[in-house]
Amino acid sequence: MGICGYLAVPGRCLVVLGLRLLFLVPAGVPARSGDSVLKDNITVRQGDSAVLKCNVDSKVSRVAWLNRTTILFAGNEKWSLDPRVILMENTAVTEYSIKIQNVDVHDEGPYVCSILTNRKPKSTKVHLIVQVPARITNISKDITVNEGSNVNLMCLAVGRPEANIVWKHHSPRGTHKFVTEGENLELTAITKEQSGTYECIASNDISSPDVRTVEVTINYPPFISKARSMGTSVGQKGVLQCEASAVPRADFEWYKEDRRLFNGLNGVKIETQGKQSMLIFFNVSEEDYGNYTCVATNIMGITNASIILYGNKTNYLVILMNFQIVDMTVYCPILKCTLILLLFLCHVLFNICTIS
Protein backbone atom coordinates (compact mmCIF):
# COMPACT_ATOMS: atom_id res chain seq x y z
CA MET A 1 0.00 0.00 0.00
CA GLY A 2 1.27 3.52 -0.83
CA ILE A 3 1.90 6.23 1.67
CA CYS A 4 -1.36 8.06 1.14
CA GLY A 5 -3.29 4.90 2.06
CA TYR A 6 -2.02 5.23 5.64
CA LEU A 7 -2.75 8.94 6.10
CA ALA A 8 -5.67 10.22 8.12
CA VAL A 9 -6.19 13.10 5.65
CA PRO A 10 -5.61 12.58 1.92
CA GLY A 11 -4.31 16.15 1.64
CA ARG A 12 -1.29 15.15 3.65
CA CYS A 13 0.20 13.45 0.61
CA LEU A 14 1.92 16.73 -0.20
CA VAL A 15 3.30 16.88 3.32
CA VAL A 16 4.66 13.35 2.90
CA LEU A 17 6.56 14.45 -0.14
CA GLY A 18 7.80 17.40 1.83
CA LEU A 19 9.04 15.13 4.59
CA ARG A 20 10.82 12.98 2.06
CA LEU A 21 12.63 16.02 0.77
CA LEU A 22 13.24 17.21 4.29
CA PHE A 23 14.88 13.94 5.30
CA LEU A 24 16.37 13.43 1.84
CA VAL A 25 14.42 10.16 1.60
CA PRO A 26 13.90 9.13 -2.05
CA ALA A 27 10.54 7.59 -2.90
CA GLY A 28 10.55 3.82 -2.33
CA VAL A 29 13.97 3.92 -0.59
CA PRO A 30 13.45 5.29 2.92
CA ALA A 31 16.29 6.98 4.76
CA ARG A 32 19.13 5.90 2.51
CA SER A 33 20.88 9.28 2.47
CA GLY A 34 23.18 10.54 5.17
CA ASP A 35 24.69 8.41 7.94
CA SER A 36 22.96 5.11 8.67
CA VAL A 37 23.26 2.79 11.68
CA LEU A 38 21.96 -0.80 11.50
CA LYS A 39 20.71 -1.99 14.86
CA ASP A 40 20.29 -5.63 15.86
CA ASN A 41 17.27 -7.49 14.59
CA ILE A 42 14.24 -7.42 16.86
CA THR A 43 12.51 -10.79 17.15
CA VAL A 44 9.00 -11.08 18.60
CA ARG A 45 6.35 -13.78 18.67
CA GLN A 46 3.11 -13.35 16.78
CA GLY A 47 0.58 -11.66 19.06
CA ASP A 48 3.19 -9.99 21.28
CA SER A 49 4.25 -6.33 21.23
CA ALA A 50 7.41 -4.95 19.60
CA VAL A 51 9.18 -1.82 20.84
CA LEU A 52 11.34 0.00 18.29
CA LYS A 53 13.80 2.43 19.92
CA CYS A 54 15.57 5.42 18.46
CA ASN A 55 18.13 7.62 20.27
CA VAL A 56 18.00 11.38 19.72
CA ASP A 57 19.60 14.46 21.30
CA SER A 58 18.83 18.13 21.79
CA LYS A 59 20.28 19.04 18.40
CA VAL A 60 17.60 17.11 16.56
CA SER A 61 15.19 19.37 14.71
CA ARG A 62 13.09 16.75 12.92
CA VAL A 63 12.44 13.06 13.60
CA ALA A 64 10.12 10.42 12.16
CA TRP A 65 9.49 6.66 12.07
CA LEU A 66 8.98 4.98 8.70
CA ASN A 67 8.10 1.46 7.59
CA ARG A 68 9.38 0.99 4.07
CA THR A 69 7.72 3.94 2.25
CA THR A 70 5.11 4.58 4.93
CA ILE A 71 5.46 7.29 7.58
CA LEU A 72 4.19 6.01 10.92
CA PHE A 73 4.98 9.06 13.09
CA ALA A 74 6.41 12.47 12.30
CA GLY A 75 7.45 14.00 15.59
CA ASN A 76 4.51 13.51 17.96
CA GLU A 77 1.97 13.41 15.15
CA LYS A 78 0.64 10.03 14.11
CA TRP A 79 0.38 9.40 10.38
CA SER A 80 -0.49 5.71 10.39
CA LEU A 81 -4.14 4.62 10.55
CA ASP A 82 -3.15 1.37 12.28
CA PRO A 83 -4.42 1.60 15.90
CA ARG A 84 -1.81 -0.95 16.99
CA VAL A 85 1.04 1.51 16.38
CA ILE A 86 1.55 3.96 19.23
CA LEU A 87 4.22 6.49 20.23
CA MET A 88 5.64 5.64 23.62
CA GLU A 89 5.73 8.23 26.36
CA ASN A 90 9.45 8.08 26.84
CA THR A 91 10.87 9.07 30.17
CA ALA A 92 14.21 9.88 28.60
CA VAL A 93 14.37 12.92 26.36
CA THR A 94 17.01 11.15 24.29
CA GLU A 95 14.67 8.37 23.20
CA TYR A 96 12.04 8.36 20.47
CA SER A 97 10.35 4.95 20.47
CA ILE A 98 7.22 3.38 19.05
CA LYS A 99 5.34 0.22 19.99
CA ILE A 100 3.52 -2.17 17.63
CA GLN A 101 0.91 -4.13 19.55
CA ASN A 102 -0.40 -7.58 18.61
CA VAL A 103 2.32 -8.10 16.02
CA ASP A 104 1.41 -10.13 12.94
CA VAL A 105 3.42 -11.63 10.08
CA HIS A 106 2.74 -8.71 7.74
CA ASP A 107 4.49 -6.39 10.24
CA GLU A 108 7.82 -8.08 9.55
CA GLY A 109 10.37 -6.02 7.67
CA PRO A 110 12.63 -2.94 7.91
CA TYR A 111 11.81 0.10 10.04
CA VAL A 112 13.72 3.39 9.92
CA CYS A 113 14.05 6.19 12.46
CA SER A 114 14.93 9.24 10.33
CA ILE A 115 16.58 12.18 12.08
CA LEU A 116 17.47 15.71 10.90
CA THR A 117 20.13 17.52 12.92
CA ASN A 118 21.97 20.67 11.82
CA ARG A 119 20.55 20.16 8.36
CA LYS A 120 22.32 16.80 8.16
CA PRO A 121 20.05 13.72 7.96
CA LYS A 122 20.88 10.36 9.47
CA SER A 123 18.89 7.23 10.20
CA THR A 124 18.73 4.17 12.42
CA LYS A 125 17.53 0.97 10.81
CA VAL A 126 15.81 -1.88 12.60
CA HIS A 127 14.59 -5.16 11.08
CA LEU A 128 11.55 -6.71 12.76
CA ILE A 129 11.33 -10.52 12.66
CA VAL A 130 8.01 -12.16 13.56
CA GLN A 131 7.98 -15.74 14.81
CA VAL A 132 4.81 -17.84 14.46
CA PRO A 133 4.05 -20.84 16.71
CA ALA A 134 3.65 -24.16 14.92
CA ARG A 135 0.04 -24.90 13.99
CA ILE A 136 -1.45 -27.94 12.26
CA THR A 137 -3.55 -26.83 9.30
CA ASN A 138 -4.61 -30.19 7.82
CA ILE A 139 -4.56 -33.81 8.98
CA SER A 140 -5.96 -37.12 7.73
CA LYS A 141 -9.39 -38.19 8.95
CA ASP A 142 -10.00 -41.31 11.04
CA ILE A 143 -9.77 -44.39 8.84
CA THR A 144 -10.87 -48.04 8.87
CA VAL A 145 -9.06 -50.56 6.63
CA ASN A 146 -8.65 -54.30 6.32
CA GLU A 147 -5.55 -56.00 7.66
CA GLY A 148 -2.83 -56.11 5.00
CA SER A 149 -3.81 -52.81 3.38
CA ASN A 150 -1.48 -49.86 2.82
CA VAL A 151 -2.22 -46.69 4.80
CA ASN A 152 -0.86 -43.19 4.18
CA LEU A 153 -1.43 -40.58 6.89
CA MET A 154 -0.84 -36.86 6.25
CA CYS A 155 -0.27 -33.95 8.63
CA LEU A 156 0.44 -30.41 7.42
CA ALA A 157 1.61 -27.57 9.65
CA VAL A 158 2.77 -23.96 9.38
CA GLY A 159 5.09 -21.89 11.54
CA ARG A 160 8.07 -19.55 11.54
CA PRO A 161 10.62 -21.05 11.89
CA GLU A 162 9.31 -24.03 9.92
CA ALA A 163 7.44 -26.54 12.02
CA ASN A 164 8.94 -29.96 12.74
CA ILE A 165 6.45 -32.87 12.59
CA VAL A 166 6.73 -36.08 14.61
CA TRP A 167 4.31 -39.04 14.55
CA LYS A 168 3.69 -41.24 17.61
CA HIS A 169 1.62 -44.41 17.81
CA HIS A 170 -0.60 -45.21 20.80
CA SER A 171 -1.80 -48.82 20.59
CA PRO A 172 -5.10 -50.05 22.13
CA ARG A 173 -3.00 -51.70 24.84
CA GLY A 174 -1.82 -48.29 26.01
CA THR A 175 1.75 -48.52 24.75
CA HIS A 176 3.22 -45.81 22.55
CA LYS A 177 6.41 -45.33 20.63
CA PHE A 178 8.08 -42.95 18.22
CA VAL A 179 7.22 -43.75 14.63
CA THR A 180 8.75 -41.28 12.21
CA GLU A 181 9.29 -37.65 11.31
CA GLY A 182 7.76 -35.80 8.39
CA GLU A 183 4.40 -34.79 7.00
CA ASN A 184 3.55 -38.25 5.60
CA LEU A 185 3.43 -41.54 7.47
CA GLU A 186 3.28 -44.63 5.25
CA LEU A 187 2.19 -47.97 6.74
CA THR A 188 2.68 -50.91 4.37
CA ALA A 189 0.74 -54.18 4.80
CA ILE A 190 -0.70 -52.93 8.08
CA THR A 191 -1.32 -55.43 10.89
CA LYS A 192 -3.82 -55.44 13.73
CA GLU A 193 -1.02 -54.56 16.14
CA GLN A 194 -0.66 -51.23 14.30
CA SER A 195 -4.24 -50.16 15.00
CA GLY A 196 -4.89 -47.39 17.50
CA THR A 197 -4.27 -43.65 17.76
CA TYR A 198 -1.63 -41.90 15.69
CA GLU A 199 -0.56 -38.58 17.15
CA CYS A 200 0.82 -35.77 14.98
CA ILE A 201 3.01 -33.32 16.95
CA ALA A 202 4.04 -30.05 15.28
CA SER A 203 6.60 -27.86 17.05
CA ASN A 204 9.16 -25.13 16.42
CA ASP A 205 10.10 -24.20 20.02
CA ILE A 206 8.15 -20.91 19.85
CA SER A 207 5.33 -22.17 22.06
CA SER A 208 3.76 -25.45 23.17
CA PRO A 209 3.50 -28.05 20.36
CA ASP A 210 0.26 -28.37 18.43
CA VAL A 211 -1.08 -31.92 18.72
CA ARG A 212 -3.85 -33.67 16.78
CA THR A 213 -4.73 -37.33 16.35
CA VAL A 214 -5.93 -39.84 13.74
CA GLU A 215 -7.69 -43.05 14.74
CA VAL A 216 -6.75 -46.08 12.63
CA THR A 217 -9.05 -49.13 12.89
CA ILE A 218 -7.90 -52.45 11.41
CA ASN A 219 -10.46 -55.09 10.43
CA TYR A 220 -9.16 -58.63 10.96
CA PRO A 221 -10.70 -62.14 11.15
CA PRO A 222 -11.44 -63.75 14.52
CA PHE A 223 -8.92 -65.82 16.38
CA ILE A 224 -9.89 -67.73 19.50
CA SER A 225 -7.62 -66.76 22.37
CA LYS A 226 -9.33 -68.84 25.09
CA ALA A 227 -11.39 -72.04 25.00
CA ARG A 228 -12.01 -73.52 28.42
CA SER A 229 -13.29 -77.05 28.98
CA MET A 230 -14.92 -78.05 32.27
CA GLY A 231 -15.49 -81.11 34.38
CA THR A 232 -18.63 -81.29 36.50
CA SER A 233 -20.90 -83.84 38.13
CA VAL A 234 -24.42 -84.74 37.10
CA GLY A 235 -26.95 -82.32 38.55
CA GLN A 236 -24.38 -79.54 38.93
CA LYS A 237 -23.89 -76.32 36.94
CA GLY A 238 -21.46 -76.36 34.02
CA VAL A 239 -19.99 -73.48 32.02
CA LEU A 240 -18.00 -73.66 28.78
CA GLN A 241 -16.14 -70.45 27.86
CA CYS A 242 -14.96 -69.23 24.48
CA GLU A 243 -13.14 -65.94 23.84
CA ALA A 244 -12.33 -64.52 20.39
CA SER A 245 -10.59 -61.31 19.34
CA ALA A 246 -11.81 -59.74 16.09
CA VAL A 247 -12.64 -56.44 14.36
CA PRO A 248 -15.52 -56.03 13.75
CA ARG A 249 -16.54 -57.88 16.90
CA ALA A 250 -17.19 -61.60 16.30
CA ASP A 251 -20.59 -63.31 16.39
CA PHE A 252 -20.68 -66.64 18.23
CA GLU A 253 -22.45 -69.92 17.54
CA TRP A 254 -22.38 -73.11 19.61
CA TYR A 255 -22.68 -76.66 18.29
CA LYS A 256 -22.80 -80.13 19.79
CA GLU A 257 -21.45 -82.37 17.07
CA ASP A 258 -23.40 -81.14 13.99
CA ARG A 259 -26.37 -79.74 15.90
CA ARG A 260 -26.52 -76.02 16.54
CA LEU A 261 -27.55 -74.95 20.04
CA PHE A 262 -29.90 -72.05 20.71
CA ASN A 263 -30.34 -69.96 23.81
CA GLY A 264 -33.02 -71.30 26.15
CA LEU A 265 -33.48 -74.65 24.38
CA ASN A 266 -32.48 -78.11 25.66
CA GLY A 267 -31.66 -76.69 29.10
CA VAL A 268 -28.76 -74.48 28.00
CA LYS A 269 -28.22 -70.73 28.03
CA ILE A 270 -25.89 -68.78 25.76
CA GLU A 271 -24.45 -65.53 27.16
CA THR A 272 -22.30 -63.35 24.91
CA GLN A 273 -20.67 -60.15 26.08
CA GLY A 274 -17.96 -58.38 24.13
CA LYS A 275 -15.43 -60.88 22.88
CA GLN A 276 -16.53 -63.67 25.24
CA SER A 277 -19.31 -66.23 24.90
CA MET A 278 -20.43 -68.80 27.51
CA LEU A 279 -22.50 -71.96 27.16
CA ILE A 280 -24.22 -72.52 30.53
CA PHE A 281 -25.75 -75.80 31.79
CA PHE A 282 -27.84 -75.25 34.93
CA ASN A 283 -28.43 -78.96 35.59
CA VAL A 284 -25.92 -81.20 33.87
CA SER A 285 -27.11 -84.63 32.72
CA GLU A 286 -25.22 -87.60 31.28
CA GLU A 287 -26.47 -86.62 27.82
CA ASP A 288 -24.79 -83.21 28.15
CA TYR A 289 -21.29 -84.67 28.34
CA GLY A 290 -19.28 -84.56 25.15
CA ASN A 291 -17.58 -82.36 22.62
CA TYR A 292 -18.87 -78.86 21.81
CA THR A 293 -17.72 -76.46 19.10
CA CYS A 294 -17.48 -72.69 19.51
CA VAL A 295 -17.65 -70.85 16.16
CA ALA A 296 -16.64 -67.18 15.86
CA THR A 297 -17.36 -65.24 12.65
CA ASN A 298 -17.20 -61.70 11.24
CA ILE A 299 -17.00 -60.17 7.77
CA MET A 300 -13.28 -61.00 7.60
CA GLY A 301 -13.47 -64.72 8.32
CA ILE A 302 -14.42 -67.64 10.56
CA THR A 303 -12.69 -69.83 13.13
CA ASN A 304 -13.69 -72.50 15.68
CA ALA A 305 -12.47 -74.40 18.70
CA SER A 306 -13.54 -77.67 20.34
CA ILE A 307 -14.44 -77.60 24.04
CA ILE A 308 -15.40 -80.58 26.20
CA LEU A 309 -17.86 -80.91 29.03
CA TYR A 310 -16.79 -84.00 30.98
CA GLY A 311 -17.66 -85.82 34.18
CA ASN A 312 -15.48 -86.64 37.16
CA LYS A 313 -14.63 -90.16 35.88
CA THR A 314 -13.85 -89.13 32.31
CA ASN A 315 -10.68 -90.48 30.73
CA TYR A 316 -8.26 -87.54 30.62
CA LEU A 317 -6.37 -88.94 27.67
CA VAL A 318 -9.56 -88.92 25.59
CA ILE A 319 -10.10 -85.29 26.53
CA LEU A 320 -6.59 -84.40 25.40
CA MET A 321 -6.96 -86.22 22.08
CA ASN A 322 -10.30 -84.53 21.31
CA PHE A 323 -9.46 -81.07 22.63
CA GLN A 324 -8.26 -78.49 20.11
CA ILE A 325 -5.56 -76.59 21.97
CA VAL A 326 -5.78 -72.90 21.06
CA ASP A 327 -3.52 -71.30 23.61
CA MET A 328 0.25 -70.99 23.74
CA THR A 329 0.81 -74.79 23.56
CA VAL A 330 0.22 -74.57 19.83
CA TYR A 331 3.45 -72.61 19.55
CA CYS A 332 5.40 -74.56 22.19
CA PRO A 333 5.73 -78.33 21.49
CA ILE A 334 7.74 -78.89 24.69
CA LEU A 335 4.94 -77.42 26.80
CA LYS A 336 2.40 -79.56 24.94
CA CYS A 337 4.36 -82.72 25.67
CA THR A 338 4.62 -81.74 29.31
CA LEU A 339 0.86 -81.31 29.52
CA ILE A 340 0.31 -84.73 27.93
CA LEU A 341 2.58 -86.32 30.52
CA LEU A 342 0.84 -84.55 33.39
CA LEU A 343 -2.58 -85.57 32.13
CA PHE A 344 -1.40 -89.16 31.78
CA LEU A 345 -0.20 -89.15 35.39
CA CYS A 346 -3.51 -87.66 36.49
CA HIS A 347 -5.32 -90.39 34.56
CA VAL A 348 -3.31 -93.16 36.23
CA LEU A 349 -3.66 -91.73 39.73
CA PHE A 350 -7.38 -91.09 39.21
CA ASN A 351 -8.01 -94.72 38.16
CA ILE A 352 -5.96 -96.08 41.08
CA CYS A 353 -7.97 -94.01 43.55
CA THR A 354 -11.24 -95.15 41.93
CA ILE A 355 -10.30 -98.86 42.12
CA SER A 356 -9.29 -98.60 45.78
**Residues 9, 125: one domain?**
yes
**Residues 346, 254: one domain?**
yes
Predicted confidence at residue 337, as pLDDT, reads: 60
Predicted confidence at residue 264, as pLDDT, reads: 83
Mean pLDDT, rounded, for 90-115 = 87
227, pLDDT greater than 60:
yes
Which residue, of 70, 100, 132, is where some domain finishes? Answer: 132
**Residues 238, 348: one domain?**
yes
Predicted confidence at residue 291, as pLDDT, reads: 94
Model confidence over 334-353: pLDDT tens digits? 655 666 677 656 555 544 44
Model confidence over 282-301: pLDDT tens digits? 999 999 999 999 999 999 99
Domain that residue 192 falls in: 140-220
Predicted confidence at residue 124, as pLDDT, reads: 86
23, pLDDT greater than 60:
no
Banded pLDDT at 5 (limits 50, 70, 90): very low
**Residues 127, 157: one domain?**
no
**Residues 155, 60: one domain?**
no
**Residues 191, 124: one domain?**
no
Q: What angle do CA 163, 68, 73 make, to 5 degrees?
A: 115
Predicted confidence at residue 6, as pLDDT, reads: 38
**Residues 259, 347: one domain?**
yes
- CA-nearest of 343, 281, 271, 345 to 309 is 281
Instruction: Give the residue with greater pLDDT, 163 vs 122.
Output: 163
153, pLDDT greater than 60:
yes
**Residues 11, 52: one domain?**
yes
**Residues 94, 171: one domain?**
no
Predicted confidence at residue 355, as pLDDT, reads: 35
**Residues 18, 121: one domain?**
yes
Which residue, of 111, 132, 153, is where some domain finishes? Answer: 132
Instruction: Give the residue with greater pLDDT, 315 vs 146.
Output: 146
**Residues 154, 75: one domain?**
no
**Residues 345, 261: one domain?**
yes
- Structurally, the chain folds into a number of domains equal to 3
Predicted confidence at residue 118, as pLDDT, reads: 75
Which residue, of 98, 132, 166, is where some domain finishes? Answer: 132
Predicted confidence at residue 189, as pLDDT, reads: 95
169, pLDDT greater than 80:
yes
Predicted confidence at residue 16, as pLDDT, reads: 44
Predicted confidence at residue 29, as pLDDT, reads: 32
Instruction: Give the residue with greater pLDDT, 213 vs 38.
Output: 213
Model confidence over 38-91: pLDDT tens digits? 467 899 999 999 999 888 877 777 889 999 878 999 988 999 999 999 998 865
262, pLDDT greater than 70:
yes
CATH number of domain containing 351: 2.60.40.10
